[in-house]
Homo-oligomer: A and B are copies of this chain.
């Protein structure tokens, strides 16, 4: 019953080549060797590996989660087989320089490839995603020695990476980290402390594991200003690249989760039983900034993972709704008529449309964010690169949080369409729902994204990022106003954006004078802004679909474009009207949460 349909390829093609015009990137020097054909070849390879090696064990590794016998972690061999296949494709270095063994693919194509692995098997693909993120940090901030020892191994997948931030007593409060790193002779450091929720923290899927660890050098400033970043390998690496002695990074225990069970989640202790040697990355006390460099891409990755779980559920429930006969129209009381497929029921179509609107809208957003990474890296002027970086900074909290919330809701609808069957483990949708629930938590909770957005991003550089987004939004609105069937949507989006910006303007003085009160409803702002951003991604898609429809290539293509226009309409009619209510507590500076005394609960 497992459905291995991991993507609607026509949609992927639409997003990449019609909406985001990824082919134009081949005009840039870095990607000059590439073409639509090489992009497609990469996508096809990723698709094949994802379908053949990642998807088949998605349920298996949920049912057989990693086991720790006190000595080693055992994981079903299918996980290693899949990662071996991934290694062989070279995707771990997809965007890297040729000289590093990379393919110099644009970020938008790399992320699209990654999305296929995520869709096929979110847990197994996590090892790859963490490894890429880790390699990015070492490439950007590591010393030549660190690069020589670790970068090649990570990009080839001989070593896998982790991000070791969280500690049991500190959770989201990185300011309260206590792991220490004491300087040794020879420039290395001895680490000591405990980390929790470290994904991929121990396993035998790769020869080595490179942990990127946040820790304090004694004598440094308190709080986040005294945090440094270290590379801490599981096995020390000799100068010739060969593996040396075991470093004292010990697995203190595995964590058993509701979902996402295929990824080892660990408690690690550093230097508790012996010598745990690490090397400083970059300057002392700048660790958080380096880690955030990694985290920003990780946050796009989380958003994309949430989308793909939603997408899988959508496709599975669409298949089910087409095939399962069930009931008749409410006005037909004749039991002798044959039952209709579920998809004939308006409420089932509502649940399919909602899923389509959530997942395809959020997919458009994540790929747009990846496209911004390309602009940031290879944009045609300093100004263009700076603008892209700014816009990406503003949108990252939405890219991370919106799919985590709404593509989870999509997974719930996919269960609902399956009825009782959807609640059973014989069908795949309940697993997607369990897996997806993590995404609102890791890489910065929803609450933290909300504070980041309202407390920092919208006001940074005198609101420059917000103005930039406003300009982009306006361009879309202006273009849509030229197209009769999209005019009403354009007006609705303009009105919703006015609501958001006027609410924000009224809030600005309070943000300055009483941040506690202004930020009390930060979550409402995150949700309202997010809905506007998603409406915008839909209007962008609708513009392309509307222009393409008259010259569509056959009935299937016409259906595809009509579906895009219809899903856009659904979002504008059923979701965008929610923005006003979302903004209500912000407009009134509502203090209900602040004034609720803890004793009153």
Known: A419-B172, A433-B258. A349 touches B594 (CB 8 A): yes
**8 Å CB contact of A442 from B169, B420, B438:** B420
Q: Does A590 contact B (CB under 8 A)?
A: yes
A-B complex: 5 closest residue pairs judged by Cβ atoms:
A223-B335, A563-B600, A173-B327, A346-B520, A258-B430
CA distance A352 to B347 in the complex (A): 32
Q: Does A336 contact B (CB under 8 A)?
A: yes
**8 Å CB contact of A173 from B175, B339, B348:** B339
Q: Is the CB of A423 within 8 A of B437?
A: yes
**Which of chain B's residues has its CB closest to A522's CB?**
B347
Q: Does A434 contact B (CB under 8 A)?
A: yes
Give A446 Cβ to nearest chain B Cβ, in Å: 7
Q: A573-B590, A574-B590 are in contact. List 7 more A-B contacts (CB 8 A).
A: A223-B334, A349-B594, A350-B523, A563-B601, A566-B596, A570-B593, A578-B581
Q: Is the CB of B577 within 8 A of A592?
A: no
CB proximity to B under 8 Å, residues A514-533:
515-516, 519-524
Q: Can you list 13 A-B contacts with CB-CB less than 8 angstroms, sorted by A residue number?
A: A170-B326, A172-B327, A222-B336, A255-B424, A318-B601, A331-B515, A344-B598, A422-B441, A423-B438, A430-B437, A433-B437, A562-B600, A569-B592
Give A296 Cβ to nearest chain B Cβ, in Å: 20
Q: Is the CB of A566 within 8 A of B598?
A: no
Q: Is the CB of A585 within 8 A of B574?
A: yes
Known: A349-B596, A424-B258, A581-B577. A335 touches B176 (CB 8 A): yes
Q: Is the CB of A440 within 8 A of B416?
A: yes
Q: Is the CB of A434 within 8 A of B580?
A: no
CA distance A257 to B343 in the complex (A): 24
* Protomer copies: 2
CB proximity to B under 8 Å, residues A319-374:
322, 324-331, 333-336, 339, 341, 343-350, 352-353, 356
**8 Å CB contact of A222 from B335, B346, B562:** B335
CA distance A464 to B509 in the complex (A): 52
* Of A318, A334, A335, most B-chain CB atoms within 10 Å: A335
Q: Does A584 contact B (CB under 8 A)?
A: yes
Q: Does A132 contact B (CB under 8 A)?
A: no
Binary B-proximity of A421-432 (CB < 8 A = 1, otherwise 0): 011111000100
CB proximity to B under 8 Å, residues A433-469:
433-434, 437-438, 440-442, 445-447, 450-451, 455
**Which of chain B's residues has its CB closest to A324's CB?**
B171
Q: Does A238 contact B (CB under 8 A)?
A: no
Interface of A is mostly: helix
Q: Does A415 contact B (CB under 8 A)?
A: yes
**8 Å CB contact of A573 from B318, B450, B592:** B592
Number of interface residues of A (CB under 8 A): 104
Q: Does A166 contact B (CB under 8 A)?
A: yes
Q: Is the CB of B175 within 8 A of A434?
A: no
CA distance A32 to B578 in the complex (A): 51
Q: Does A559 contact B (CB under 8 A)?
A: yes
Give A254 Cβ to nearest chain B Cβ, in Å: 10
* Of A173, A415, A573, A600, most B-chain CB atoms within 10 Å: A600
CB proximity to B under 8 Å, residues A491-550:
515-516, 519-524
**8 Å CB contact of A597 from B326, B339, B559:** B559
Known: A257-B425, A574-B592, A580-B577. A447 touches B347 (CB 8 A): yes
CA distance A329 to B520 in the complex (A): 11
Give A305 Cβ to nearest chain B Cβ, in Å: 14
**8 Å CB contact of A519 from B344, B346, B562, B577:** B346
Chain B residues with CB under 8 A of A559: 597, 599-600
Q: Does A595 contact B (CB under 8 A)?
A: yes
Chain B residues with CB under 8 A of A601: 318, 343, 352, 356, 563
Q: Is the CB of B592 within 8 A of A570?
A: yes
**Which of chain B's residues has its CB closest to A563's CB?**
B600
Q: Does A197 contact B (CB under 8 A)?
A: yes
